[in-house]
Structure 1
Amino acid sequence: MEFEFPTEFGEQLAFGAAAFTAFAGFVIMFAPGLAMRVFGLAPRGERREGFSEVRSVGGFYLGLGLGAVVLAQPLIYTAFGAAFAMAAFARIVSILSDKGSTYINYLLLVVQAIIAALPLLYVFGFFQT
């Protein structure tokens, strides 16, 4: 199996979104305390289950991003974009339902929307030359 960097601009954007997700997942997985501070979260008392949950999400992002980078297929990019589109939708629900109207939530909503849009726009042909 050969690793090739995409040559089309649209695929490069989708690839970049996947690579960013893999990098973020790596950081979240191996530095959960730092990630929790950035997201405004903190473990409660002596209970450390929050770290497991954050590491798990980081591993998911790492696996999803690496899968899209390595396989680089339209269906993989579709699944990748759809997953982030649903994550962005869930964040909107949280902002509206959970009194989660904070700057970090709005910033992460924009990031998730961009990460969702880049592969989906590529797959649906918006970056054709």
Structure 2
Amino acid sequence: MEFYIPTETGEFLAFCAAIATVLFGLFALFAPGTALKLAGLQVRDGTSEGYAFARSAGGFYAGIAIVALLMAQSWIYMAIGGGFALAAFGRILSLMSDGSFTLKNLAALAAQAVLAALPLGYAFGFL
């Protein structure tokens, strides 16, 4: 099986979103403390459940994105885009109801929106 690098613009943009997702996932998988700190979270002293959550979430992101890169199927790109779209929706809810309207959250919302739009745009034929 050859590794496929897309030449079509829409598929290449979805491919780039999958690469960013892999990098994000691997970062959370192998450096959970730093990932949590960048997210503004901290683990309580004496417990390690927070690290386990960050590692498992990072593993999920990396796993689904690696499958998307290897299989190059629009359905898998749709799964990545749908996941990021719901994550962006959750962030919007938090911005409106939790009082978390900060520049950091707006930047994270923009990143999630882009990582949702690129794969979904390709999967639905807009890109």
Where on the TM-score scale, by shorter chain, does this alignment land: which range?
Answer: over 0.9
1:123 aligns with 2:123: yes
Say if 2:29 and 2:59, in contact at 8 Å, map to a contact too: yes
| Aligned residue runs from structure 1 range 57-68, under 5 A | 57-68=57-68
Letter in 1 for 2:14: A
Say if 2:26 and 2:59, in contact at 8 Å, map to a contact too: yes
Cα deviation digits, residues 70-94 of structure 1 (max 9, x gap): 1111111111111110111011112
More moved, 110-119 vs 63-72: 63-72
Aligned length: 127
Query: 2:97 maps to which residue?
Result: 97
Gaps of at least 5 residues in structure 2 are none
Q: Describe the SS at the equivalent of 2:89.
A: helix
Alpha-carbon RMSD: 1.1
Cα deviation digits, residues 15-53 of structure 1 (max 9, x gap): 000011001100111001111111111111222211111
More moved, 42-51 vs 10-19: 42-51
Query: 2:5 maps to which residue?
Result: 5
* Separation in 2, partners of 1:44, 1:102: 24
* Separation in 2, partners of 1:76, 1:61: 12
Letter in 2 for 1:87: A
- Taking structure 1 as the reference length, the TM-score comes to 0.92
Query: 2:43 maps to which residue?
Result: 43
Cα deviation digits, residues 56-113 of structure 1 (max 9, x gap): 1111110121111111111111111111101110111122222221222111111000
* Separation in 2, partners of 1:61, 1:76: 12
1:81 aligns with 2:116: no
How high is the sequence identity, in percent, across the aligned residues? Answer: 50
Letter in 2 for 1:126: F
